[in-house]
Amino acid sequence: MVSRLEWGDILRILVIGGGGREHALVWKLAQSPRVTKIYCAPGNPGIGKLAECVPVPVSDLQGLCQLAIDKKIDLTVVGPEGPLTEGIVDLFTANGLKIFGPDKKAAQLEGSKTFAKDLMRKYGIPTAKYAVFTDADKAKAYIEKEGAPIVVKADGLAAGKGVVVAMTTEEATSAVDMIMCDQAFGNAGAQVVVEEFMSGEEASLLAFTDGKTVVPMLAAQDHKRVFDQDRGPNTGGMGAYAPAPIITPTLLTEVVERILQPMADALRQENCLYQGCIYAGLMITENGPKVVEFNARFGDPETQVVLPLLDSDLTYIMEACIDGTLKDSTVTWKNDAAVCVVMASGGYPGDYQKGKVITGVSEAESENAVVFHAGTSARGQDIITSGGRVLGVTGLGASIQEALNKAYSAVKRIHFEEVHYRKDIAYRAVGRPDNN
């Protein structure tokens, strides 16, 4: 065991993960004058321009812990949900290492939809009506009784693909078969949550918390469907923008007071001290905001539009979350807007080919845009595609429209075979008169 390090003005940082969210985290952390060295495991070619990438997979918790010890890391930041739900924070803390994120018990908020829904019901946090099943026939009988539209969710982690919004009862019962009987998501589907369908506009609100104080970030809105006009299957996110005008200042206060703060308090009541980033996926219904789901980490691609608008030093905020001093911190934001357009492989979220050469990234960055690498790797001197979501191109501007123009101008400079991206990112915001 190593002794717990005191915070100083010089920091060595480890970021865990290798996607667009982690690139955005590294990019923001690198702007702090406190930071002298950043490592990223496993990282990607874009991250490699700012940090030293180390080929330790996110699933190797012991290897990551040893890396942090060997490199004398002062602060570790966890990107993906998997290591959090597996207990990486507990492991690092036991070894005297400072790490940003909730421990294993608190990370159940994302790791188990049943845990989250039961907690919301117990503490009166607004969400959709639901029922939980471990028997497929009983789940189907409930669906037949409730009717459609209805939502079927795998209880555990399913890489963002374990949710089916069914418009017919036949589609819903087929989802039960896929999740529970065919085990499309393995053990994550041993239990399902069946929810009422909520209509309204979705938004994402991320917040910093030390387990007691909750400080919201700027509200964002992402685009889940693969095609324009929100058609086609759900993806991990085809783009995002911030701030989302659907979340007015009044509504932001309501979400913090009725959802985020009560959840932090509820977790504490259940002996879970949640420290890190807490993410509420919201549906803004005619009866007010309700929770679609909670996540236990930064969102992707929301991080790629929220962090570029952060005016404060991220290292101090993370330090305050870990040390329980967030109430004494000042978190400020730029009075600007950001839009991220995801450039994906053709065929995503279904089957797609890898290994396509990417060109034009440097030219795109000269358009006052930031290009975050999500699914890329290196082959000799070339950067090639290696994932479904390949790049997140973020434009910044004084308004959503200006940021949107910069993002798409940059996108047009980038090329790879069979590239696909949506042409209508931020269409809801651009249609609002106060954002043009």
CATH number at residue 71: 3.40.50.20
User: Average of pLDDT values for 355-369?
Assistant: 93
User: Average of pLDDT values for 147-165?
Assistant: 88
Torsion of the alpha carbons at 373, 376, 379 and 384, rounded to the nearest 10: -100
pLDDT at 164: 87
Q: pLDDT above 90 covers what percent of the chain?
A: 90
264 with 239, same domain? yes
Residue 112 lies in a domain: no
Q: Which residue has the tokens 């992707």?
A: 300
Residue 120 lies in a domain: no
Mean pLDDT of the chain: 94
- Boundary (domain end) residue, out of 57, 85, 103: 103
- Boundary (domain end) residue, out of 328, 352, 383: 328
Residue 124 lies in a domain: no
230 with 254, same domain? yes
- Say if pTM beats, i.e. exceeds, 0.75: yes
Range of the domain at 231: 201-328
pLDDT tens profile 3-48: 344 667 779 999 999 999 999 999 999 999 999 999 999 999 999 9
320 with 252, same domain? yes
pLDDT at 3: 35
216 with 318, same domain? yes
268 with 387, same domain? no
- Boundary (domain end) residue, out of 145, 165, 196: 196
Number of domains in the chain: 4
271 with 316, same domain? yes
pLDDT at 430: 86
Residue 108 lies in a domain: no
Whether the predicted pLDDT of 333 surpasses 60: yes
* Confidence band of 250 (pLDDT split at 50, 70, 90): very high
* Confidence band of 188 (pLDDT split at 50, 70, 90): confident
Whether the predicted pLDDT of 192 surpasses 70: yes
Whether the predicted pLDDT of 234 surpasses 90: no
Residue 118 lies in a domain: no
36 with 134, same domain? no
317 with 212, same domain? yes
Domain CATH number, residue 383:
3.90.600.10
User: Average of pLDDT values for 248-253?
Assistant: 96
428 with 341, same domain? yes
154 with 192, same domain? yes
pLDDT at 321: 97
288 with 362, same domain? no
User: Average of pLDDT values for 54-59?
Assistant: 97
Whether the predicted pLDDT of 436 surpasses 50: no
How far are the Cα atoms of 187, 314, 323, 386, 411 from residue 4, in angstroms, in the given order? Answer: 36, 20, 12, 38, 44
**Separation of alpha carbons 111 and 121, rounded Å:** 17
* Confidence band of 107 (pLDDT split at 50, 70, 90): very high
Residue 5 lies in a domain: no
40 CB-near residues (< 8 Å, 6+ apart) = 14, 15, 16, 17, 18, 22, 26, 47, 48, 51, 52, 53, 54
Residue 185 lies in a domain: yes
Residue 119 lies in a domain: no
152 with 61, same domain? no
pLDDT at 220: 98
Contact 394, 354 (CB under 8 A): no
pLDDT tens profile 372-399: 999 999 999 999 999 999 999 999 999 9
pLDDT tens profile 273-284: 999 999 999 999
pLDDT tens profile 320-332: 999 999 999 999 9
Whether the predicted pLDDT of 357 surpasses 80: yes
Domain CATH number, residue 214:
3.30.470.20
**Separation of alpha carbons 436 and 431, rounded Å:** 8
Residue 419: Cβ within 10 Å count: 17
380 CB-near residues (< 8 Å, 6+ apart) = none
pLDDT at 339: 98
* Confidence band of 248 (pLDDT split at 50, 70, 90): very high
Residue 258: Cβ within 10 Å count: 17
pLDDT tens profile 60-99: 999 999 999 999 999 999 999 999 999 999 999 999 999 9
pLDDT tens profile 195-217: 999 999 999 999 999 999 999 99
Whether the predicted pLDDT of 432 surpasses 90: no
Label each residue of the chain as H, E or C: CCCCCCCCCCEEEEEEECCHHHHHHHHHHCCCCCEEEEEEEECCCCHHHCCEECCCCCCCHHHHHHHHHHCCCCEEEECCHHHHHHCHHHHHHHCCCCEECCCCCCCHHHHCHHHHHHHHHHHCCCECCEEEECCHHHHHHHHHHHCCCEEEEECCCCCCCCEEEECCHHHHHHHHHHHHHCCCCHHHHCCEEEEECCCCEEEEEEEEECCCCEEECCCEEECCEEEHHHEEEECCCCEEEECCCCCCHHHHHHHHHHHHHHHHHHHHHCCCCCCEEEEEEEEEECCEEEEEEEECCCCCCCHHHHHHHECCCHHHHHHHHHHCCHHHCCCCECCCEEEEEEEEECCCCCCCCCCCEEECHHHHHCCCEEEEECCEEEECCEEEECCCEEEEEEEEECCHHHHHHHHHHHHCCCECCCEECCCCCCHHHHCCHHHC
